[in-house]
Structure 1
């Protein structure tokens, strides 16, 4: 479970609702089913128009990445080194069971190729093609939510305008004029919240998961190729841990660049 996602959603929505309550606004004023239908339906309808059905459905499936934490690469390295020691002692064929039963599809494929006697360079080539294809698919999911985040505020304005049209068509009852205008602008709030609390953060989180998953798969590729080459498990461990260092360094460089710009 990714606690950061839960904290972020709770903090973001809580701050908006809490601020409204402190201003004396009744929560019932924010509960407008019509506005929700206009904003959510219009936003994701426009996103579906922009992308193929497979991409759109895949994007919603990838929402689970918002609530799941990335596996620890330290544990992955330990696992691979265990496979290396086993293969070094009993031969690569000793990993046949792992190649058939491993829960991770990418690891399962990598070990199976190795057990089948595929050349190390061919294993790397096949797995890198697989990695690239999955990475591109995941990027499309992020782009889907980025697009939805761009549409949502505009759809919110459309909802507000529709509400104002309704208000202006009933000007004879001036006692309800103020309340009607307030209700009309709820659609704008829904649009902004949908974009900035849900869609755009979801796109960013998916992109971060892509980076984590890419590093994990690069470790698997390097590890399995090294096992196939019969390298020493200790040397394999040192090589794989260098991926963690370079990944952390990239993150640090980005943070340092952000501080220098600030």
Structure 2
């Protein structure tokens, strides 16, 4: 059994591509081209990447200490989740094609400087080798920070699922999602402040009714609660977390795509983190708990 596990980790490690080295990430002034949307009509509207949070509540500093604000090539905005002192998980479509990555931790404002917040550049960006930019399959990536960050009351890593949770669906669980995306369909700008929303995890079978073949076993889906919902532009890579039995938050998803203009009641799709535990461990070295 141990040999099989080692072989599995080795194979997963080979399924990643390093986007850039640290030397090529510095002092890049080129603008990032717009991330292309999925243009297939599924009967409910056009599926689009980069969900936003509509009706979300503002977050206080220290409330979501694992939240990362990512700025690619000095312009485009995504979110991510700090999982160790030097690794941030996000979606592949946030990283693919970009050359520089500024990562701000400990902040709740996108536009104003804040005490207790730090900004680091990434020295390595990894995109899953099987990421498909048309279908958003394997939409996971990782950034390695140039400097190890100190954990504080405002900056801390979120807990990854344990190996024993690899087959857990989390269906029916109440979850929390956070990000800096647009706050309404009419807005074209990312939110100035970090927002959070309560959502409920739904089954992939229900999610497939909206997104058809875009939904795979490596996705996890949610619907908004109390009028709050993620939908479009700026929240991509945003962490979806659930509380475990010890009231510790566990990272179960990374926001991947949603329905265009976020019609009420339609779901949002995320990367299912439990589907990529071996990939995460092999490429970041972050240890996984047995239970």
Q: Normalising by the residue count of structure 2, what TM-score does the alignment of the two structures yield?
A: 0.23
By percentage of residues, which structure has more helix? Answer: 1
Q: Normalising by the residue count of structure 1, what TM-score does the alignment of the two structures yield?
A: 0.24
By percentage of residues, which structure has more strand? Answer: 2
Larger Rg over CA atoms: 1
Higher relative contact order (CA closer than 8 Å, sequence separation 6+): 1
